[in-house]
Amino acid sequence: MADIVSRLHKNKVVSSSRKTSLRHYCVATMILRHQQSAKSVIDFTVEQWIAREEVSDGSCIHLTPKSALEQLSFTLSREEEEYFNVYFTMIRTDYLHKQAQETDDKGKFFLSASGAPLANPMADVKRLFQTYKHLQKQVQELHTCGESSTAASTEEHGTLTQEGTSIQAICASVFKLRYWDAFRDKFPVTVNGNAPTKQQATEAGFENYRSYYHKWRDVQYQLRLRYVLDQSVDRKGTKPQESKIQRIIDAQVDWTTNKPTVADVQQAWAPPVSTGHSIENDMSIIKSIVDQKWKGLAIKQFEIKGKGVITTMPFSKNDIICDYHGTVISKREGEEKMAALAPGEHSYNFFFRGKGGEPLCIDAQQFPCSCHQDKDCFGRRINHSRQFFNVHAQRFTMALPSGPAETILFLATRDIKLNEEILYDYGVTRKSFQGEGADLDWLDD
């Protein structure tokens, strides 16, 4: 059965609807196999997913805090956990990337394709079974001998286990994405290289050569588009002339096939992103600061060091990750507040110099802050690492609706993968503005 279903999907790129069918599967798993209510599915958060607990036969997800009297939890098998993980790392991240600024995912695990919290989980279950029936029909049509009677009886008296098996087959085809990652690792896509031959792919253990081959070429095509663009765009970033693009394409003697077209290169061109000052007027950043809503982050409880911030989607170098939210006070006030801390109490003061060089401090000691009572703001939860930091802090005078505000934004110092902890080297700042520096509770791992 699995084989037939997977053959049905040969040579197809994984479409967004099929990705969504994996979400349907995960939702159905929670509701049908683990008897969770639709509300539990809606309420399930990324932080609960991250805090899942390794148990002997799988992974236990706690839907309520451990201290709650009646604890809600369920245990995913290893396989189910893997499906959830594929949804989380490949599909949910897609949704987040497409999410409109005004959409708030509220840190929920299950999102609709628009990036909003899932509203109707039962619709997902229904859709899964519709897909399943549809596929089954195709399977029957393709059947020339053998199992057709089994398939028919499954449809008639479909038990959950039988249907479950078929659903897994559907999912296996969705998972081609995962195998693509392995394929790409084995045969990296390069601008000038050639796709591996069928024999090479087979020897490396990959079946379905054609779909990998096409995907490999698609990715290379994108690389080549990018390459030609880089070569043809001037320093101002103006749209390149057709003739110039054509010259550059013609100059690539190694590109005998899979050549980008001039039209595609022009289409891939985007007007230059203005840098610097525009950050201070950027409406989406301003909104994130005001609402304390930063996409792609979650708070994780670490065993030794306590809370930290991890990514729930990948970021690129120089992306703005979040701000250090608090009240701007003078350096002197900040020092007084630090001196008043109880011994061993962690300090949440960020010392920096303002626009005119004046020594300032952002005080984030109070939790929750008076302006966002329901939020655990990310900035103050970022842990320190001198060695493994992946963000740096930069000061901006943000044009907030309430007036210009001295703001510290954390920017990625490199590409950051999904599920990495955000780490900042607090040492330099504390040393330079405080002399003594570290009252740090802990240092690098």
Nearest distance from C-beta of residue 41 to Zn ion, angstroms: 30
Q: Which residues bind Zn ion (CB under 5 A)?
A: 369, 371-372
* In the block, residue with structure tokens 């995960």: 26
Terminal Cα distance for the chain, rounded? 48
Sequence-distant (6+) residues with CB within 8 A of 194 are: none
- Least separation in angstroms between CB 325 and Zn ion: 6
Instruction: Closer to Zn ion by CB, 76 or 409: give it.
Output: 409
Residue from 351, 374, 362, 360 nearest 326 by CA: 362
On the 0-12 / 13-18 / 19+ scale of CB atoms within 10 A, 205 is exposed
Kindly state the smallest distance separating residue 202's Cβ from Zn ion, in Å: 58
Indicate the residue among 38 and 369 with the shorter CB distance to Zn ion.
369
Phi-psi region of 208 (alpha: psi -120 to 50; beta: other; left: phi over 0): left
Q: How far is the CB of 100 from Zn ion (least distance, A)?
A: 23
Give the C-alpha distances (Å, rounded to integers) separating 403 from 104, 159, 279, 399: 24, 62, 15, 6
Q: How far from 347 is each of 321, 335, 336, 423, 430, CA to CA, in Å?
A: 22, 10, 12, 17, 11
Which SS3 state, helix, strand or coil, does residue 80 take? helix
Query: In angstroms, what is the minimal distance from the CB of 369 to Zn ion?
Result: 3
In the complex, minimum distance from the CB of residue 244 to Zn ion, in angstroms, rounded to a whole number? 51
- CA 378, CA 174: separation in Å to the nearest integer? 34
149: CB partners within 8 A, 6+ apart: none
Rounded distance, CA 149 to CA 423, Å? 58
Residue 372 or 386 having the CB closest to Zn ion: 372
Smallest distance from Zn ion to CB 403, Å: 16
Give residue for tokens 């049908």. Answer: 32
CB-wise, 163 or 363, nearer to Zn ion? 363
Q: What is the DSSP letter of 397?
A: E
Cβ-contact 413, 317 below 8 angstroms: yes
Residue (372 or 395) nearer to Zn ion, CB: 372
Q: How far is the CB of 321 from Zn ion (least distance, A)?
A: 17
CB of 106 to Zn ion, least distance (A): 17
Read out DSSP for 350-371? EEEE-TTS-EEEEE--SSS-SS
If you count them, how many residues does the chain have?
Answer: 445
* 194 backbone dihedrals φ, ψ, rounded to 5°: -115, 150
Q: What's the CA gap between 3 and 21, in Å, rounded? A: 18
Decide whether 292 or 385 has the Cβ nearer to Zn ion. Answer: 292
For Zn ion, the closer of residues 142 and 371 by Cβ is: 371
Nearest distance in Å: CB 372, Zn ion: 4
- Angle, helices 148-156/160-174, rounded to nearest 10 degrees: 120
Nearer to Zn ion, 160 or 371 (CB): 371
Measured from the CB atom, the residue of 233 and 285 that comes closer to Zn ion is: 285
Residue 65 CB-density burial (10 A; 0-12 exposed, 13-18 middle, 19+ buried): exposed
| Phi, psi angle pair for 391, to nearest 5° | -130, 155
Q: Between 186 and 307, whose beta carbon lies closer to Zn ion?
A: 307
Decide whether 167 or 369 has the Cβ nearer to Zn ion: 369
Minimum separation from the CB atom of position 324 to Zn ion (A):
11
